[in-house]
Copies of this chain bind each other. A is one copy, B any other.
Amino acid sequence: MRRTPARRPTIKDIARRAGVSESAVSFALNGRPGVSEVTRARIRRVAEQLGWQPSTAARALSGEGAATVGLVLARPARTLGVESFFLQLVSGVQEVLAGRGLGLLFQVVEDLDAECAVYRRWWAERRVDGLLVVDPRADDPRPALLDRLGLPAVVVGAPDGRGVPHGAISTLWADDTGAMASIVGHLYGLGHRRITHIAGLPELAHTRRRMACLRAEAARRGLPDVRSVTTDYSDAQGAEATRRELAGGRPPTAIVYDNDVMAVAGLAVAAERGVPVPAALSIVAWDDSVLCRSTHPALTALVRDTAAFGRRAAQQLLVLLDGGPAVSVQDAVPRLSPRASTGPACRGAP
């Protein structure tokens, strides 16, 4: 037996109690001209008193937009729930959205096709006013799709900054190149010449940028034994790749991991094989988190303020929603935080 729920007040209730028409209420509450200041105040008071909030459905229906922003995460369930990146990003995003009363519609799907399908559905259902697109890829179909649908979006993470962004698609990207350069510089300074980069998914745009930069740096400094291998970001593949590297004839003296999870897994592999860190192997994690600080030794990591990144992305989206221009902005260069997992390259190494 369910009790009858409390009734939600509508604009009509306010109108009745304030002794005015519904339109007057609408004008008053939306700051439109057409009502005297005294009635406006009275109406505001009544609305407050009744705990009135505009029905998003009704608003949306009368052309005001859904007051909602969408975010889809396309990741196989297996690699989920590991990285610290997303919740932090989302938390930053929220901060900004909440200030404008915007909701965040969130969905996790298996792959890119499913993600595009979600976009189409949301568009047809008029569920969202704009989108945050994460994990951009080389040859990404999403920006074009969203542009065609007329949905404003901010591509966050790493698309090619080149080219004028089309339509209402903004772009916010991290300076992976500068970051990679600083990592290589750090390791080079410690005497490392054989460096392996255990990267993430090869189809992601930022993976490619990091790999390209590593190659360029290696060429510039004349290091033949520098390479990248790609993984799916999971601890399993991170560990596996580490094992392969350490088992080789001329193992690297330093490994750079594309996320914190793999770095921790790599550290465990080193421990298991009796390879001392950092004496025989230096480890760098791309993206800092509790993990990196909780291991022994603590991991040298690339620190960036992910929540701030999320805030900035949300702000760009607000600009678009307000009809502002699409832009392409580069985020601050992440900072390398040296900890105990990096040290001078082993002298004995050939």
Residues of A within 8 A of B (CB): 2-6, 8-9, 51-61, 66, 68, 77, 80-82, 84-88, 90-91, 94, 98, 103-109, 120-121, 123-127, 147-151, 167-168, 234-235, 239, 261, 264-265, 267-268, 271-272, 289-291, 293-296, 298, 306-307
Instruction: With CB as the reference atom, state the residue of chain B lying closest to A83.
Output: B81
> Closest CB of chain B to A137's CB: distance in Å?
21
A124–B168 Cα distance when bound, in Å, is: 31
B57, B107, B109, B125: the one within 8 Å of A53 (CB): B125
Residues of B within 8 A of A291 (CB): 261, 264, 291
A289 contacts across to B, CB distance below 8 A:
81-82
Q: Are A235 and B293 in contact (CB under 8 A)?
A: yes
B77 and A81 form a contact (CB under 8 A): no
A82 to B9, CA, bound (A): 40
Given A80-B87, A108-B90, A167-B3: A265 and B239 within 8 A (CB)? no
For A267, list chain B residues within 8 Å (CB): 294, 296
Q: Which residue among A5, A90, A235 has the maximum number of chain B CB atoms within 10 Å of its CB?
A: A5
> A235 CA to B260 CA in the complex, in Å?
15
**Are A91 and B77 in touch, CB under 8 angstroms?**
yes
List 21 A–B pairs whose Cβ atoms lie within 8 Å, in order of A's numbering. A5-B149, A9-B124, A51-B124, A52-B124, A56-B66, A80-B91, A81-B84, A81-B86, A82-B87, A90-B108, A91-B108, A98-B107, A103-B127, A104-B107, A105-B106, A106-B106, A235-B294, A264-B295, A268-B298, A271-B296, A272-B296
Please tell me if the beta carbons of B54 and A57 are within 8 angstroms of each other in the complex. Answer: no
Q: Which residues of B contact A306 (CB under 8 A)?
A: 81
Asked if A126 and B55 sit within 8 Å, CB to CB, the answer is: yes
Of all chain B residues, which has the CB nearest A151? Answer: B5
Contact yes or no, A105 B107, CB < 8 A: no
Q: How far, in whole Å, are A350 and B171 apart by their CA atoms in the complex?
A: 63
Residues of B within 8 A of A57 (CB): 56-61, 66, 126
Set of chain B residues within 8 Å of A106, measured between Cβ atoms: 90, 104-106
* Selected contact of A296 from candidates B56, B80, B268, B293, CB within 8 Å: B268
Asked if B103 and A104 sit within 8 Å, CB to CB, the answer is: no
The answer to whether B103 touches A294, judged by C-beta atoms less than 8 angstroms apart, is no
Across-interface contacts of A268 in B (CB, < 8 A): 294-296, 298
Q: What is the CB-to-nearest-CB distance from A6 to chain B, in angstroms, rounded to a whole number?
A: 6
Residues of B within 8 A of A58 (CB): 57, 61
A124 to B271, CA, bound (A): 56
Complex Cα gap A285–B85 (Å)? 22
Residues on B with beta carbons closer than 8 Å to the beta carbon of A294: 235, 239, 261, 264-265, 267-268
- Please give, as numbers and ranges, the residues of chain B lying within 8 Å of A82 by CB-CB distance: 84, 87, 289-290
CB neighbours (8 Å) of A52 from chain B are 124
Chain B residues with CB under 8 A of A239: 294
| C-alpha spacing A167/B3, complex, angstroms | 7
> CB-nearest residue of chain B relative to A101?
B121
Other than the given A91-B108, A94-B108, 8 more pairs (CB < 8 A) read A53-B121, A55-B125, A56-B57, A56-B66, A94-B109, A105-B106, A235-B293, A264-B295
Q: Are B61 and A124 in contact (CB under 8 A)?
A: no
Q: Please give me the 8 A-B residue pairs with the lowest Cβ-Cβ distance, nearest first.
A: A5-B150, A53-B124, A271-B296, A57-B60, A81-B87, A81-B84, A81-B88, A106-B106
